[in-house]
Each structure stands twice: as C-alpha cells, then as structure tokens.
C-alpha cells in the first residue's frame, strides 16, 4: 500500500488508535516531530508535545468523546477527513466549567503528508449550535 491509500490508512489510525482509543503515544508514529498544527481553536502549535497537550485538554473536558469517521478523501500528499464527535462536557475547557451537556461536533481536517507521516494539518469544526429564531 503506497501513496494516497497509505495516507488514508494513517488518517484512519489517527481517528481510531489515537483519538478514540486515547493513545497519545501514537502521535509519534503518525506525525513528523515538527508537525505544524493549525488548531480547532484558531491557534497554531508545532511539535508533538504541543499536539499531545491539546488533545489531552479535550479528552479531559469530554472524557466520553468518540469520533465516527464520515469521509476520507485523498489526493497527492493531502488527505481530508470529516468526523462527527459526540461526548459530554464533563471537565473544564479553556476556562469554561463543565456543563454536563451532550455535544455533537463535526470536525473537518486537512492533513499534508511528508513520506508516511502527517507534516501539517488544519482543523475546522462545526458545533451544531444555531441561534434561536428572531422574535417578531
């Protein structure tokens, strides 16, 4: 398995082995050591330790979070994945205390590969929150 099929398999491993199984050690096998992450919160971070801390923050806030992969599309050295993550807000997240509310988040991630590892990625999310209708 080479090229785009190998890259797609790596993305599947990210969602299953790292994200759903909470195996933060898998980061070192999936990403280059200097990987640049354009985070879901708009911040950029470089390196696996920063990525590990960021994911751990979300895992603590949503200890039951689970991703269902909806799509994986690859071309050249890039892979796009879309996953629906569901969990319960049970811990602090960026200063916001736990609400106990169930959330459903759609994550779209674009990953650029160098060799068989992710060298850069961009994450975008949709919280599924819509404003109430305007009062007349």
Answer yes or no: is 81 within a domain.
yes
pLDDT of residue 128: 53
Answer yes or no: is 132 within a domain.
no
Answer yes or no: is 135 within a domain.
no
Mean pLDDT (10-residue bins), the chain, 136 residues: 86 96 94 88 85 91 96 96 95 90 92 95 70 54
Two tokens, residue 75: 């071309």
Q: Which domain holds residue 66?
A: 4-126
43-52, Cβ contacts within 8 angstroms, sequence gap of 24 or more: 51/27, 52/24, 52/27
Two tokens, residue 131: 């404003």
Answer yes or no: is 131 within a domain.
no
Number of domains the chain contains: 1
Strand order in the sheet with 117-126: 44-46, 31-38, 117-126, 102-114, 78-88, 66-75
CATH code at position 10: 3.10.450.50
Pairing relationship of beta strands 66-75 and 78-88 according to DSSP bridges: antiparallel
Answer yes or no: is 119 within a domain.
yes
């Amino acid at each position: 398995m080479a090229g785009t099929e190998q890259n797609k398999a790596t993305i599947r491993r990210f969602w299953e082995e790292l994200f759903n199984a909470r195996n933060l050690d898998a980061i070192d096998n999936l990403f280059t050591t200097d990987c640049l992450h354009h985070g879901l919160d708009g911040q950029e971070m470089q390196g696996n330790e920063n990525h590990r801390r960021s994911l751990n923050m979300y895992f603590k806030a949503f200890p039951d979070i689970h991703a269902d992969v909806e799509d994986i599309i690859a071309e050249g050295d890039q892979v796009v994945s879309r996953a629906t993550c569901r969990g319960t807000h049970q811990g602090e997240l960026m200063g916001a205390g736990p609400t106990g509310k169930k959330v459903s988040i759609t994550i779209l991630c674009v990953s650029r590969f160098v060799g068989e590892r992710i060298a850069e990625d961009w994450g975008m999310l949709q919280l599924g929150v819509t404003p109430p209708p305007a009062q007349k």
